[in-house]
């Protein structure tokens, strides 16, 4: 799903119809991009990159769908989603200016001056701080809340949805 948005224009404060197909989206900003992706997976996440930062927790081992943050004006101000393809970690981000939605190597993203300013800038949404919209993707967590166990038909559907990232 994230790759289907590569090439779209960037527009700060863009309001995207969450039910729109990727080809129907004209422009998007970084936090709306994340909201859209996770909505398509059945989750409601906060708007604004700083709110998304506080709704997430640091990770030490990366997985597709994890988030990476950068700063603007001395605070969290940018977000991208991490994916793995062809044995390489990349970031899909809605970047301002002439860039729009682009794919960037994770290493290149992290070399930006703005990335080093954010402590624990690689994160994952804390499932206790976001809302499940689609109960077909209901997850059962172990005692630590870190291991996702899928039940019944949800296994197949969730894997299909997760594969869209």
Distance, CA of 75 to CA of 138 (rounded, Å): 33
pTM (2 decimals)? 0.76
Write out the E strands in 17-117: 27-28, 43-44, 56-58, 67-72, 75-85, 88-95, 100-105
For residue 157, pLDDT over 80 is answered with no
Assigned CATH for 2-133: 3.90.1720.10
Local structure of residue 161 (DSSP, 8 states): H
Looking at residue 142, its pLDDT comes to: 33
Per-residue pLDDT tens over the stretch 62-89: 888 999 988 877 788 899 999 998 889 9
pLDDT at 117: 54
Give per-residue pLDDT as tens, 104-148.
Answer: 998 888 887 666 556 677 888 887 777 766 443 333 333 333 333
Q: What's the pLDDT tens digit per position in 12-26?
A: 999 999 999 999 999
Instruction: For residue 145, give Cα distances in angstroms to 128, 153, 154.
Output: 9, 21, 18
**With 80 as the cut, is the pLDDT of residue 162 above it?**
no
Extents of the domains making up the chain: 2-133
Would the pLDDT of 164 be above 80? no
């Amino acid at each position: 799903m994230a790759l289907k948005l590569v090439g779209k224009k960037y527009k700060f404060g863009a309001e995207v119809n969450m039910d729109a197909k990727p080809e129907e989206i004209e422009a998007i900003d970084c936090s709306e991009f994340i909201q859209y992706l996770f909505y398509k997976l059945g989750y409601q996440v906060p708007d604004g990159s700083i709110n998304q930062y506080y709704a997430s927790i640091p990770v030490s081992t990366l997985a597709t769908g994890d988030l990476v943050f950068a700063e603007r004006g001395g605070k969290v101000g940018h977000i991208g989603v991490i994916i793995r393809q062809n044995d390489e970690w990349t970031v899909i981000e809605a970047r301002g200016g002439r860039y729009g939605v682009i794919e960037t190597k994770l290493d290149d993203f992290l070399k930006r001056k703005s990335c080093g300013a954010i402590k624990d800038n690689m994160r994952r949404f804390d499932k206790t701080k976001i809302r499940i919209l689609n109960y077909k993707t209901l997850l059962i967590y172990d005692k630590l809340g870190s291991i996702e166990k899928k039940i019944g038909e949800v296994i197949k559907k969730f894997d299909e949805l997760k594969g869209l990232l």
